[in-house]
Amino acid sequence: MRMCSIASGSSGNCIYVGSDNTHLLVDTGISKKRIEEGLKQLEIKGEELDGILVTHEHSDHIQGLGVFSRKYEVPIYATEGTIEGIKASSSLGKMPEGLLHPIVVDESFTIGDIMVDPFEVSHDARQPSAYRMECNGRSAAVATDLGMYNEYIVKKLKGLDAILLEANHDVHMLEVGGYPYPLKRRILGDKGHLSNELSGMLLCDILHNGLKHIVLGHLSKENNYARLAYETVKLEVTLGDNPYKGEELDMQVAKRDSVSDILTF
């Protein structure tokens, strides 16, 4: 399998996950042009995509969905609630009805040779989900936009080869920063976003020798920066009750506005 972040951050998200035969995007929260540029680096054409998995209807996840899917007629998979949110989002234009496929969390389905397992996350959207994908005994997950995690989430993220995991904000930067108070409450709440610390703690719960690629993503532009997210998560792992040292991990931070490394596993 391969995984590659085409863009990741509070201003737009688009992650490629695929096998030799099947090519998927998780979210299309950037312009069609930028998605095309990203796919070009992966040597994939828009026509070759087999599906777009949408996590939820916030604009940083669906901004490019209308234009991109109309051009390439890629099937779109999302929960019923997210589909309602997509249809209600006037900026996308008319969504071709036949392309929208409702899915149910915890009911896995296959696209080509990839098995997709959608699971529920706690976030302030209609019916948000995250995705685990498996092919030939390999697996990857994209888990962003989660205000908290629990045993259920940990279970869904066990045994992975690669993960793109949210490390949204530094709690102190957010607290002292210029965001209005209600927005701060929202981000820090159970339906907001995962802080660097919580991201590190979640990672401790899912680390195993086979987890070869860790990508921290969906960083806040205002309340985080790459080095801080990386160091905080690394420290949580080192201090955590597990046999791993942060510096031993293959961990990187996804680039906000450009294509990150292509990971193969």
Which residues would be at the binding site for Zn ion (CB under 5 A)? 58, 60, 145
Nearer to Zn ion, 115 or 188 (CB): 188
Q: How far is the CB of 145 from Zn ion (least distance, A)?
A: 4
Nearer to Zn ion, 69 or 82 (CB): 82
User: Closest approach of Cβ 81 to Zn ion, in Å?
Assistant: 13
CB of 204 or CB of 215, closer to Zn ion: 215
Element (H, E) at 101: strand 100-103
In the complex, minimum distance from the CB of residue 208 to Zn ion, in angstroms, rounded to a whole number? 27
Using the minimum distance from each CB to Zn ion, give the nearer residue, 134 or 166. Answer: 166
- Contact between 4 and 100 (Cβ < 8 Å): no
In angstroms, what is the minimal distance from the CB of 213 to Zn ion? Answer: 21
| Closest residue by beta carbon to Zn ion | 58
- Residue 251 CA to residue 162 CA, distance in Å, equals 10
Q: Three-state DSSP class for 114?
A: strand
N-to-C CA span, the chain: 5
Q: Closest separation between CB of residue 252 and Zn ion, Å? A: 19
Closest CA to 174 of 229, 224, 124: 224
Cα–Cα nearest to 133, from 205, 229, 65, 53: 53
Report, in Å, the least distance between residue 136 CB and Zn ion. Answer: 30
- Give me the amino acid identity at 225: Y
- Name the residue nearer to Zn ion (CB basis): 49 or 143: 143
Nearer to Zn ion, 61 or 234 (CB): 61
Quick one: 146 or 204, whose CB is closer to Zn ion?
A: 146
Measured N-to-C along each axis, helices 32-41 and 65-72 cross at an angle, to the nearest 10 degrees, of: 60
- Report in angstroms how near the CB of residue 35 gets to Zn ion at its nearest: 16
Cβ-contact 99, 72 below 8 angstroms: no
CB count in 10 Å sphere of residue 226: 15
Angle, CA 34 vertex, CA 33 and CA 40 arms, to 5°: 90
Nearest to 142 by CA among 160, 126, 127, 125: 160
